[in-house]
Structure 1
Amino acid sequence: MDESQIISLSVDQYTLYAFIGYLLLMVGIGLYSARFSSSGISEFFIGGRKMNKLVIALSAVVSGRSAWLLLGVTGLVYAQGASALWAVVGYTAVELVLFLTYAKRLREFTEVHDCITVPDFFATRFNDKNGMLRIILVITFLIFMVSYVSAQFVAGGKAFSSSFGITQNSGVLLSAGIILLYTVLGGFLAVSLTDTIQAFFMILALVFLPTIAIIDFGGWAAMMEALQLQDAALIDPTALTFGAFVGFVGIGLGSPGNPHILARYMAIDDPKQLRFAAAIGTFWNIVMAAGAVLIGLIGRAYFPEVGMLPGADTENLYPFLAQNHLHPILFGVVIASIFAAIMSTADSQLLVAASSVVRDLYDRIIKKDEEIPQKTLVLYSRLVVLGLVVFALLFGLIAQDLVYWLVLFAWAGLGAALGPTSILALYWKGTTKEGVIAGVISGTVITIVWYLIPVLKDNLYELIPAFFGSLFITILVSKWTKK
């Protein structure tokens, strides 16, 4: 293989056809779902609480993983070795616990009180008559959701650029346009159905690619030997500092605070089916995580120097490895899996952000004394999604951070602001509205400040101190204020 083949990607026509077929399928689902999602904002934002257990299990898993898993984790394992697997252990364990405990309680409360959004839940739980708690939650959502969605657009730009040879900015624009189309058309039903199909694309690619690449290399023993010769630490899962270990495992603390995951718990048709969803979701979380880790390891064996990757960027490892080992049609599936990861997260976040604006600001605060027709609210929701895409797009075009870290920042902010407060709201009767407001603000502020101070950020992931800081402040202020 000559140098030009090593550092660039070329696209076969069959790869392009396979990818176009995938995109047409996604848009078709959006068109199919449009009528159902237009009937009201409950249908548009949480599927009218009529979603099947399998759909909920798979969409909850893939909406939480995003391009971070396929591009970020594979690149991290390439750079750091097997010790990076701890980055996937935390969220897998936490989400299992959430499915089995937290999800059922949240689902039952939100049905009884007709809560469509996470701010709806908080406002009802704490009798937020003046709307202060809603407003603070909406602002928090928008701060971190824009970063999160922008990260997905940036990932889409990278994937388009490395896979189809176009500029990254053009790829960002294409990614945004595709996600916008079916999200605006189909709402939550389209998002959940596409997530389910996208889960199979991701699983297929994450199972087949490392398996074939390891066989082509000469087997597991040959891969381990090659990595051992490079650096013995690459195959040692304990080769990391205590701070790095805590930071990796602590990623799971973000799950109870990310509203695009919580929306799945609220949308299932029967809360008794959450145990089934827990089993399915956990199994596929493990399969996808194992695939990402193996791709990083075998990729390091094939390409010992980062300069051998397109753009010398570790986040290009996944599509580059696939191109070198798969038939063009299967390579098209891999490219589709990248966009599946991107879209499954971005569309969910756009719906959550739009719901906070339309439901929580416009319907519940600005027009709280008026009866707004449901179809009017759906129309406004679609317009807000459009506006959010434009705003996130502008941010994404100038974003310089790696996808991995930009996603982790947004994940941390939401996890720290909403995770401790939502857990306490569901499980501790002593929690007060003032305590929640203090917890949301402190979690947000600690995340941002910690992220901006290099000496702090380099030693511990900002979610850890922000989560426990928010937890402590929520309890402290609740103790001082009236229930």
Structure 2
Amino acid sequence: MTSGTFVAFAIYLIGMLAIGLICYRLTKNLSDYILGGRGLRPGVAALSAGASDMSGWLLLGLPGAVYASGMNQIWIGIGLVIGAYLNWQFVAKRLRIYTEVAKDSITIPDYLENRFDDRSRILRIISAAVILLFFTFYVSSGLVAGGVLFEETFDLSYMWALWIGMLVIVGYTFLGGFLAVSWTDFVQGILMFLALIVVPIIAITELGGWDQVTDTVGQIDASYNGVMTDMTFMGIVSLMAWGLGYFGQPHILARFMAVRSPSDVPTARLINMGWMIFGLYGAIFVGYSGIAFFADNPLQNSETVFIEFVQVLFHPWVSGFLLAAILAAIMSTIDSQLLVCSSALTEDLYKAFLRKDASQKELVQVSRFAVIGIALLATVLAMDKDSKVLDLVSYAWAGFGAAFGPIVILSLFWRGLTRNGAAVGILVGAVTVVVWKQLSGGLLDLYEIVPGFILCALAAVAVSLMQGRPAQSVLDDYDRTQRAVKTGRIEPSE
């Protein structure tokens, strides 16, 4: 590593901490800290949603999967694009409106409790527990990715790399909360986008053009060029099923809840989908061109293909900022996840059960220290440097998608969903993912999000039908929301 790379990297990190300090002055209460006061502009909401969604998986996991297996991994990208579009198209606007109608809910557990007028608070407890369980694995995946980056770039030991990455991310999340997370994600989203456009273009140019790349890859192993290589129907379903996960990711749904106005959603959707399509396929081309570029000296760790490209192809100053894009991808997801975990502990457990009359200042402080506690736990879990980023992400992604996805969709589109139906559905989805993950062979090789999603939906519908008609106040809020979706105006509650 040269001094130029180090300085460029340092400039980036200092910039992120500066954003945290600025946002610290703008954070006055828990709503500001958790949801930014529902004031996100469409561009910030779109790019922060994209950056927090993709994580180090986009620059390490996906290129690594393509480098190791070839173009058959493109099915993940197709599934994700479809899922993200449907999420923005059908969930974003309704969720933004419904969370305001449902007593101005600021977290997913908060929304579920208020949506069903759950005075037993069972929904809040179950959903907060699911968030804390699966986000622990998700945050750990990001810290593993950060450890790999620092280890490869700065020749640091894996443990030093883990702690340095954790301290920077916790620093600005602790200070600025949701505003800091959203604005750093906005900057990081731009950086990731530029990196995923520039690196594959330069790599392909260095190899002599696209035709030369495909010819070289074909000579190494013709199977790398086939999108159907070693693919079964079940395999394609498993890869495309990643798209189902979008409907249940709390850190992405939080951006929908925080957007300035429901009318801003179409603009945010356009920006987000453009960013996502270019980013995903840029990552795929990085991995694919890496097969040809490193043919004479294959990489030991497939997930370092982006890092190797950056170090070989670019001037140290440029490579410093491009490597910072990986850290940006990692940080932009971990910070969002830490904030959602913090909100689960503070809003959904501490305030709800321990200190109902806690002041806003106290709640913000509790949230900040919750960020530190969760980060420390995730760092301990990430100490196994042999963990694969893609494996950890896939488990957490499936957990949220199966537990929350069907419930969020049903809560927005079905009048008859009941509290018990939602609670049972969340439990069935989460348990199915945990159990299915331990099984293998034949049909059981199906990605665990598929059975989890299906069984969650079936359980929620079956229990709701058995329970009967929801309370009138719940139905009234549902009808208010549907009218607001059509008119663009939220009626005052009676």
The counterpart of 2:7, out of the listed 17, 31, 37, is 17
* Matching residue within 316, 321, 326 for 1:328: 316
Work out the CA distance in 2 between the residues paired with 1:387 and 1:324.
Answer: 38
Give the partner amino acid of 2:52: S
**Cross-structure match for 1:283:** 274
In the alignment, structure 2 segments of 5+ residues that lack a partner are 471-494
Q: Does residue 460 of the first structure (1) align with residue 424 of the second (2)? A: no
Q: Find the counterpart in structure 2 of residue 430 from structure 1.
A: 416
Cα deviation 1:5-53 (Å, max 9, x = unaligned): xxxxxx111011100000000000000100112x111000110001111
Match of 1:271 in 2: 262
**C-alpha contact (below 8 Å) 2:72/2:227 kept by paired residues:** yes
How big is the alpha-carbon RMSD for the aligned residues of Structure 1 and Structure 2? Answer: 1.3
Whether contact under 8 Å (1:434, 1:477) holds in the other structure is yes
Moved more, 432-441 or 94-103: 94-103
**2: distance between equivalents of 1:161 and 1:189?**
30
Identify the match of residue 106 of structure 1 among 85, 92, 95: 95
8 Å contact kept, 2:34–2:343: yes
Deviation at 1:481, TM superposition (A): 1.2
| 1:48 aligned onto 2:37 | yes
Of the three residues 333, 343, 349, the one matched with 1:345 is 333
CA distance in 1, matches of 2:385, 2:374: 16
Structure 1 residues 425, 52: closer, same or farther in 2, change over 3 A? same
1:454 counterpart SS class: coil
Query: For residue 148 of structure 2, what is the aligned residue in structure 1?
Result: 158
1:63 corresponds to: 52
Q: Is residue 75 of structure 2 the alignment partner of residue 86 of structure 1?
A: yes
Whether the 8 Å CA contact 1:450–1:457 is kept in 2: the answer is: no
Are 1:222 and 2:208 an aligned pair? no
Question: Take 2:164 and 2:295, find their aligned partners in 1: how far apart are those partners?
Answer: 32
Q: CA–CA distance in 2 between the matches of 1:97 and 1:281?
A: 12
Structure 1 residue ranges (4+ consecutive) displaced by more than 4 angstroms after TM superposition: none
Counterpart secondary structure, 2:445: coil
Question: For residues 295 and 400 of structure 2, what CA distance do their matches in structure 1 show?
Answer: 36
Give the match for residue 208 of structure 1: 198
SS of residue paired to 2:40: coil
1:387 is aligned to 2:377: no
The one-letter code matched in structure 2 to 1:195 is D
How many residues align structurally? Answer: 467
Q: Identity over the aligned pairs, expressed in percent?
A: 39
TM-superposition CA deviations, 1:430-450 (whole Å, max 9, x none): 111111111111111110111
Q: Aligned equivalents of 1:241 and 1:357: distance in 2?
A: 42
Within 2, Cα distance between the matches of 1:73 and 1:207? 15
Shift, 1:111, TM fit: 1.6
The 1:85/1:114 distance shift into structure 2, 3 A limit, reads same
What is aligned with 1:354?
342
Match of 2:23?
33
Q: Distance in 2 between matches of 1:88 and 1:351?
A: 27
1:138 equivalent among 128, 150, 174 = 128
Distance 2:384 2:212 in 1: 42
Q: Which runs of 5+ in 1 are unaligned?
A: 1-10
> Which residue number in structure 2 is paired with residue 250 of structure 1?
241
C-alpha displacement of 1:398: 3.3
Aligned partners of 2:400, 2:440: CA distance in 1, in Å? 21
Q: Report the CA distance between 1:322 and its aligned residue.
A: 1.3
Q: Could you tell me whether the CA contact under 8 Å between 1:57 and 1:278 is conserved in 2? A: yes
Do 1:131 and 1:365's aligned partners in 2 also have CA atoms closer than 8 Å? Answer: no
**Could you tell me which residue of structure 1 aligns to residue 63 of structure 2?**
74
1:293 paired with 2:284, answer: yes
Q: What CA distance in whole angstroms lies between the structure 2 residues aligned with 1:275 and 1:58?
A: 14
Q: Which residue identity does 1:98 align to in structure 2?
A: N
Could you say which residue in structure 1 is the equivalent of 2:351? 363
CA contact (8 A) 1:91 1:251 kept: yes
Q: Equivalents in 2 of 1:233, 1:277: separation in Å?
A: 39
Q: 1:246: how far off? A: 0.6
Deviations 1:455-481 (A, max 9, x none): 369721111111111111111111111
- Helix, strand or coil: the match of 2:224? helix
Change (3 A) 1:21 1:458: farther
Structure 1 CA distance, aligned partners of 2:436 and 2:294?
34
Residues 49 and 456 (structure 1), Cα distance of their counterparts in 2 relative to 1, 3 Å cut: farther
Counterpart residue identity of residue 85, structure 2: L
Asked whether the 8 Å contact 1:75–1:314 carries over to 2, the reply is yes
Shift of 1:426: 1.0
CA distance in 2, matches of 1:405, 1:322: 24
Alpha-carbon deviations, 1:285-315, whole Å to 9, x = none?
000011100000110111237x632xx1101
Q: CA deviation at 1:401?
A: 2.6
Matched, 1:308 2:316: no
Q: How far apart, CA to CA, are the structure 2 residues paired with 1:195 and 1:35?
A: 18
Pick the aligned partner of 2:178 from 160, 170, 188.
188
Counterpart residue type for residue 271 of structure 1: P
Work out the CA distance in 2 between the residues paired with 1:288 and 1:198: 13
CA shift in 2, pair 1:44/1:377, >3 Å: same
Counterpart amino acid of residue 414 in structure 1: F
Q: Deviations over 1:313-367 (max 9, x none)?
A: 1011110111111111121122101110000000000000110110011112333
Amino acid corresponding to residue 44 of structure 1 in structure 2:
Y
1:399 shift after superposition: 6.3
Match of 2:222 in 1: 232
